[in-house]
Amino acid sequence: MTRAERGAATAELAVALPALLLVLAVALGALRLGIDRVRCLDAAQTGARLLARGEPLESSRAAALARAPAGATAAVVVEASTVQVTVRARPPGVLADVGVGLASEGTAVARREGAP
């Protein structure tokens, strides 16, 4: 190794390491996004099931939000024969920071008990 080549590996590592960390952070954020989508769907199904069997609106919404990711919101639509619950969570931190606007969302519809 010549004197001019000394430290080249260190410089290359210094340039590559931040890029590697960014790729890792985005990959972990994408994994978290998938997990949050499953949790939103599970939460929406829980809320819809409780509403369909006649539970009060607020307790059904609270049960859905308890299963959802932190900071999620739940929208409820009650019709004559069905109920619909949509749970939405904001994107994980890393993805939101790099401008990816993919929010996690799950929607469930259930037929109300005793509905015609």
Q: For the whole model, what pTM was predicted?
A: 0.79
- For residue 47, being part of any structural domain is answered with yes
- For residue 103, being part of any structural domain is answered with yes
Number of compact structural domains in the chain:
1
Residue 1 has pLDDT above 80, yes or no: no
Q: Residue written as tokens 């960390």?
A: 21
- For residue 82, being part of any structural domain is answered with yes
Residue 12 has pLDDT above 60, yes or no: yes
Range of the domain at 75: 3-111
Contact between 95 and 33 under an 8 Å Cβ cutoff? The reply is yes
- For residue 116, being part of any structural domain is answered with no
Cα–Cα nearest to 95, from 46, 26, 6: 26
Q: Is the dihedral of CA 47, 67, 98, 16 positive or negative?
A: negative
Contact between 87 and 73 under an 8 Å Cβ cutoff? The reply is yes
Cα 10 versus chain centre, distance: 38
Binned at pLDDT 50, 70 and 90, residue 94 comes out as confident
